[in-house]
């Protein structure tokens, strides 16, 4: 495999409105991010993934773009963006932009023109269909955010298609002019000096609406290859596609370098295993053997073709320590264990803001305190259809996207040091105990564990390129694996429970003298025939060659 700069990189995702508010208007901004670059440099990350900061009416917090080549006033100006790029570059940090090209805002000039008349030059930039003879919707397709996917527009008497909010009309990628416009815009951003793109729900652009095909449409990979060729293909940029329905075989199509598509994709198989029947609002407990099989499959299947992204968290997902760890007695230990589990695998790790200090889910008492459009829509829909409000609120506490979107905890002062004004969404009340200032003062904090993991990835090629071999595959309490290259054998062992676990270690992994490179308890000096793991204990050891 030809080495790439992003193979040993670690990416840090910033959700700008929740990161740091420099002008005290209650919303995070670009100057706030600039002021925290030294913190990120200390952590050791060398890439920032920036959730959308483009001009937007913020129906979906910026994932509804009204101008791709301008900055939302809430976040700052284009000059602020250029300053962020320059200041980050001085610290050897690259910025990758979150790019949404499946849909735009209904306030984008293209859509404003498109809805004026059926013969408008921009009409076919979007997906329009006539009503059925009885005037009803063209078909029964649903929106990801609840309700139907068709919205009637009185001006022309037709329906437009929106797979997300009705204020996020889908672009028509069957129209070559849409492709040309998007390619032109991508190249404009490349010229600004960015380090790459995260492409939002990119697996939907090949849709064939009349056949009810949305994800993985037949022209999808052709469209991506044409995008690659016209834009980032020869620029050595990091590109990662968000692909909810990807299998390993599909992921190889995206990320095999020979195919000229993306650097890697986000797949979500391990995330959706705790959703009953694929419904996030119907959460179920983690089945660890099943979970391990999913992660192992991706490690093994993409070993020679393609590249993995490694992540627990993002702006759409609950906090990992709340999902799989213990936010009570063992919050620090379980947060470290989960970090080690993921960062010792093969792929590019992504750290979501606050993950590095062990931030947790929030449990607001009232649905009125939530801001996420998906959460609010589904709460309304489900409770109106008979789900008890307390049942739905419990599901919101577990899986709402707002769990990740409460303001970043910087210190113990009001509003966690995020802003001197009332934040756009309430702060998690546990910020006095969990914050950056406290973490930096404690050498045993979650922060320094992440810092060490990032240092190790840059120092040990076996973490980046070594083969992956699972151990204890059917064990229901531990996740173990070995990473192997020509120089090293790295044994990683993680207890996913609050119980002590006694393990019989295979002979080939026993050693009288090992180099423990990271642990969340005392460093081990040997691996004996039987090992007793403490609650949420986790370690990685280099075995004798």
What is the per-residue DSSP string for 57-68?
--TTTTSS-SEE
DSSP output for 90-152: HTT-EEEEEE--SB--TTSHHHHHHTT-TT-TTGGGB-EEPPPTTS--SS--B-TTSSBSEEE
Residue of 242, 372, 374, 537 with catalytic role: 242
Long-range CB pairs of 67-70, under 8 A, 24+ apart, other chains included: 67/108, 67/109, 68/185, 69/185, 69/188, 69/189
**DSSP classification of residue 190:** H
98 tagged catalytic: no
Q: Is 200 a catalytic residue?
A: yes
Could you tell me if 241 and 253 are in contact, meaning their C-beta atoms sit under 8 angstroms apart? no
Rounded distance between C-alpha atoms, residue 447 and residue 358, angstroms: 8
Return d(Cα 85, Cα 203) in angstroms, integer: 28
Q: Give the DSSP letter of residue 307.
A: -
**Cα–Cα dist 501/391, whole Å:** 34
Name the residue with tokens 């050897």: 92
Nearest-angstrom CA–CA distance, 322 and 511: 35
Strand-pair category, 94-99 with 67-71: unpaired
What tokens does 279 get?
A: 């419904």
Q: How far apart are CA 354 and CA 432, in angstroms?
A: 14
Beta bridge partners of 492: 481, 540
Interatomic CA distance for residues 341 and 234, integer angstroms = 34
Element (H, E) at 478: strand 478-484
H-state helical runs in 198-344: 220-230, 248-255, 269-272, 288-301, 320-323, 331-343
Strand partners, 308: 265
Are 351 and 13 within 8 A, CB to CB?
yes
Out of 59, 98, 200, 537, which one is annotated catalytic?
200
Active site residues: 200, 242
């Amino acid at each position: 495999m030809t080495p790439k700069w992003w193979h040993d990189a670690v990416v840090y995702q910033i959700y700008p409105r929740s990161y740091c508010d420099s002008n005290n208007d209650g919303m995070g901004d670009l100057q706030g991010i600039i002021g925290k670059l030294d913190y990120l440099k200390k952590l050791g990350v060398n890439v920032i993934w920036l959730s959308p900061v483009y001009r937007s009416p913020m129906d979906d917090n910026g994932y509804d773009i009204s101008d791709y080549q301008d900055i939302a006033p809430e976040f700052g100006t284009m000059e602020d963006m250029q300053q962020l790029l320059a200041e980050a570059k001085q610290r050897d940090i690259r910025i990758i932009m979150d790019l949404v090209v499946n849909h735009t805002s209904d306030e984008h000039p293209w859509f404003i023109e498109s809805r004026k008349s059926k013969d408008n030059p921009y009409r076919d930039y979007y997906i329009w269909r006539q009503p059925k003879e009885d005037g009803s919707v063209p078909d029964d397709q649903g929106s990801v955010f609840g309700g139907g996917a068709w919205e009637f527009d009185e001006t022309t008497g037709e329906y437009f298609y929106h797979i997300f909010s009705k204020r996020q009309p889908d672009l028509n990628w069957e129209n070559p002019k849409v492709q040309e416009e998007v390619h032109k815009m991508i190249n404009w951003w490349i010229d600004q000096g960015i380090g790459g793109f995260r492409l939002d729900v990119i697996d939907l652009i090949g849709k064939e609406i009349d056949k009810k095909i949305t994800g993985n449409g037949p022209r999808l990979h052709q469209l991506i290859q044409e995008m690659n060729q016209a834009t980032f293909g020869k620029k050595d940029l990091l590109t990662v596609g968000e692909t909810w329905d990807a299998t390993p075989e599909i992921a190889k199509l995206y990320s095999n370098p020979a195919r000229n598509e993306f650097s890697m994709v986000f797949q979500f198989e391990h995330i959706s295993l705790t959703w009953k029947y694929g419904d996030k609002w119907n959460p179920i407990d983690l089945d660890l053997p099943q979970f391990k099989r999913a992660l192992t499959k991706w490690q093994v299947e993409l070993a020679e073709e393609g590249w993995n992204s490694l992540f627990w968290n993002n702006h759409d997902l609950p906090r990992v320590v709340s999902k799989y760890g213990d936010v009570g007695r063992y919050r620090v230990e379980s947060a470290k264990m989960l970090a080690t589990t993921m960062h010792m695998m093969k792929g590019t790790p992504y750290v979501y803001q606050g993950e590095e200090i062990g931030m947790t889910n929030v449990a607001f008492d009232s649905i009125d305190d939530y801001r996420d459009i998906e959460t609010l829509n589904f709460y309304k829909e489900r409770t109106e259809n008979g789900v008890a409000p307390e049942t739905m609120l419990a599901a919101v506490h577990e899986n709402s996207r707002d769990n990740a979107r409460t303001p970043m905890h910087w210190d113990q002062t009001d509003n966690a040091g995020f802003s001197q004004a009332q934040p756009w969404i309430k702060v998690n009340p546990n910020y006095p105990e969990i914050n950056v200032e406290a973490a930096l003062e404690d050498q045993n904090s979650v922060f320094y564990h992440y810092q060490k993991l990032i240092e190790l990835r840059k120092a040990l090629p076996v973490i980046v390129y070594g083969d992956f071999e699972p151990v204890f595959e059917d064990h229901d309490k531990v996740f173990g694996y070995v990473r192997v290259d020509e120089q090293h054998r790295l044994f990683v062992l993680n207890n996913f429970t609050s119980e002590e676990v006694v393990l019989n270690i295979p002979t080939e992994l026993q050693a009288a003298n090992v180099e423990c490179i990271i642990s969340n308890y005392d460093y081990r000096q040997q691996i004996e025939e039987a090992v007793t793991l403490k609650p949420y204990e986790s370690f990685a050891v280099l075995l004798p060659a």
